[in-house]
């Protein structure tokens, strides 16, 4: 017999398991649901008797009792299971954690099925920062910044990488295949021979030369705010790493950043804090990308986001813009700076007829209470009819919250938004 009591938390509207739900006892024992919504519970002093579990989760709201407490009384029994239906306030639905250790830990402890091909310590990655993705030569190429490992608090800072099959069903799982070190099995740097010390971060990941080249702009950093080397790099398919091909002034921003897209023969991207607005463009060739004179500022972009319900301004702080075939509109998924519940944890949705806007009315689709969810991006290659998918980095770094969430902290979480959601049509 499985020596645990299984508690599953599901979305009250969809019946799907909800990740990142906290269950807390009156003695402050804290349990966090895995990506299938399961908690494997076994506390010797609390079995076979009534136990109060407080319930809390970002963007979900369990009903309060007469004293204002949100929770439920359960009687844990070995081998038994129970289900809690959790009402959702967020317009978008949290699907699962993409990176890190123990994504389906509790499901495995309970003997429950999990998606095939999901390792519990994939690439020996404990956590990683800020994703960039591109569809290149029939594979999705994924890249992240600083990456944590299990052996020591300091991890790998030379950009991490992986591939996945674009035919993976995003409702089920993203099966990452990391580029790893042969000796350690840990995610290896995508910039293996930097000119000097310091983290190497990338932006502006794009496919150019009619699909033949994967490129990015990179920065080698002295600290969070000081760049000492900046340039353009091309992915070497044989060596499976990036190689610099052009250098730029490190004291000036990247000539093109964010999550670029191709449109009418141009590669559009953001520039110097303008994300996610596509305010710069360049021809999608290596020759053009190497010369700063070829980058054009787009003069007509208009970004003046306001809450569609209240008219209050929404201060943008990164995101992405991509064409959506279902809506026949350009869709912006944008992070808010200095939101009501968090500094950089509230996500908004907006539409426009052109990539440059005007972008005016926005609807909040995700919130995180006193936690960060930064560097949000859509995954347009996952678009499935009425559904769009996006992810961001969940972490407490800039939130003012000193309490990181076990396993989830400093990792990527995927959300799904139903474009037929009535509240989007405000």
Stretch (H or E) spanning 222: strand 213-223
DSSP H helices, 134-259, are none
Question: Which band of pLDDT confidence, cut at 50, 70 and 90, is reported for residue 273?
Answer: low
> Long-range contact list for 246-255, CB < 8 A, 24+ apart?
246/289, 246/290, 248/292, 250/219, 250/220, 251/227, 254/203, 254/204, 254/217, 254/219, 254/230, 255/217, 255/280, 255/282, 255/292, 255/295
How high is the pLDDT of residue 2?
Answer: 81
- HSE-CB for 42 with a 13 A CA cutoff: 10
The full 3-state SS of 84-115, as one line of letters, equals: EEECECCCCEEEEECCCCCCCHHHHHCCCCCC
Of 158, 139, 140, nearest to 149 by C-alpha is 158
Question: Which band of pLDDT confidence, cut at 50, 70 and 90, is reported for residue 196?
Answer: confident
What's the rounded Cα separation, in Å, for the pair 89 and 363?
Answer: 13
Residue 426 predicted with pLDDT over 80: no
Whole-model pTM: value is: 0.96
Rounded to the nearest 5°, which phi and psi values hold at 352? -155, 160
pLDDT digits (tens, 9 = 90+) for 357-369: 999 999 999 999 9
Of 170, 172, 176, nearest to 387 by C-alpha is 170
DSSP 285-349: SHHHHH-GGG-EE-S---EEEEETTT--B--EEEEEEEEETTTTEEEEEEEESS-SS-SS-EEEE
- Confirm if 356 and 335 have CB atoms less than 8 A apart: no
How high is the pLDDT of residue 7?
Answer: 98
Stretch (H or E) spanning 391: strand 387-395
How high is the pLDDT of residue 267?
Answer: 98
Burial class (CB in 10 A: 0-12, 13-18, 19+), 166: middle
23 versus 275: the higher-pLDDT residue is 23
- Confirm if 134 and 397 have CB atoms less than 8 A apart: no
The mean predicted confidence, pLDDT, of the chain is 95
74 Cβ neighbours under 8 A, 6+ residues apart:
5, 7, 50, 51, 53, 82
User: What integer is the mean pLDDT of 387-398?
Assistant: 95
Rounded to the nearest 5°, which phi and psi values hold at 126? -95, -30
pLDDT digits (tens, 9 = 90+) for 295-329: 999 987 888 999 999 999 999 989 999 999 999 99
What's the rounded Cα separation, in Å, for the pair 150 and 162?
Answer: 19
Six-digit token pair at 391?
Answer: 């992810």
pLDDT digits (tens, 9 = 90+) for 199-228: 999 999 999 999 999 999 999 999 888 999
pLDDT digits (tens, 9 = 90+) for 146-161: 999 999 999 999 999 9
Question: Which band of pLDDT confidence, cut at 50, 70 and 90, is reported for residue 72?
Answer: very high
Could you give the percent of the chain with pLDDT greater than 90? 91
Least confident of 14-18, 114-118, 271-275: 271-275
Q: Is the dihedral of CA 371, 115, 129, 348 positive or negative?
A: negative
């Amino acid at each position: 017999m499985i020596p645990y009591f299984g508690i599953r938390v599901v979305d009250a509207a969809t019946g799907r398991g909800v990740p990142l739900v906290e269950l807390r006892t009156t003695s402050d024992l804290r349990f966090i649901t895995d990506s299938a919504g399961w908690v494997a519970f076994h506390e010797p002093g609390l079995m076979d008797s009534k136990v109060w579990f407080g319930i809390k989760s970002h963007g979900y709201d369990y009903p309060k009792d007469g004293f204002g407490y949100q929770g439920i009384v359960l009687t844990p029994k070995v081998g038994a299971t129970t289900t809690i239906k959790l009402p959702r306030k967020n317009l978008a639905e949290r699907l699962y954690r993409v990176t890190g250790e123990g994504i389906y830990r509790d499901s495995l402890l309970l003997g429950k099925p999990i998606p095939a091909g999901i390792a519990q310590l994939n690439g020996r990655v404990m956590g990683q920062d800020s994703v960039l993705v591109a569809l290149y030569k029939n594979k999705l190429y994924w890249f992240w910044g600083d990456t944590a490992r299990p052996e020591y608090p300091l991890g790998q800072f030379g950009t991490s990488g992986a591939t996945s099959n674009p035919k993976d069903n995003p409702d089920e799982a993203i099966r990452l295949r990391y580029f790893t070190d042969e000796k350690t099995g840990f995610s290896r740097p995508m910039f293996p021979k930097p000119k000097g010390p310091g983290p190497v971060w990338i932006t502006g990941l794009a496919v150019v030369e009619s699909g033949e080249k994967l490129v990015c702009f990179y920065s080698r950093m002295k600290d969070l705010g000081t760049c000492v080397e900046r340039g353009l790099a091309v992915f070497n398919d044989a060596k499976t790493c990036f190689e610099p091909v052009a250098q730029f002034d490190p004291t000036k921003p990247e000539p093109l950043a964010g999550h670029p897209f191709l449109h009418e023969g141009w590669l559009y991207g953001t520039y110097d804090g303008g994300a996610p607005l596509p305010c710069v463009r360049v021809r999608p060739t290596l020759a053009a990308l190497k010369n700063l004179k070829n980058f054009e500022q787009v003069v007509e972009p208009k970004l003046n986001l306001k809450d569609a319900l209240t008219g209050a301004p929404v201060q943008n702080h990164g995101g992405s813009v991509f064409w959506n075939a279902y809506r026949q509109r350009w869709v912006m998924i944008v992070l808010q700076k200095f939101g009501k519940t968090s500094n950089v944890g509230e996500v908004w949705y907006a539409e426009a007829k052109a990539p440059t806007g005007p972008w005016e009315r926005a609807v909040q689709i995700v919130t995180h209470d006193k936690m960060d969810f930064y560097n949000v991006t859509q995954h347009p290659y996952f678009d499935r009819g009425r559904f769009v998918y996006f992810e961001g980095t969940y972490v407490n770094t800039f939130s003012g919250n000193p309490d990181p969430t076990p396993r989830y902290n400093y990792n990527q979480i995927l959300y799904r938004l139903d474009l037929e959601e009535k509240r989007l049509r405000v």
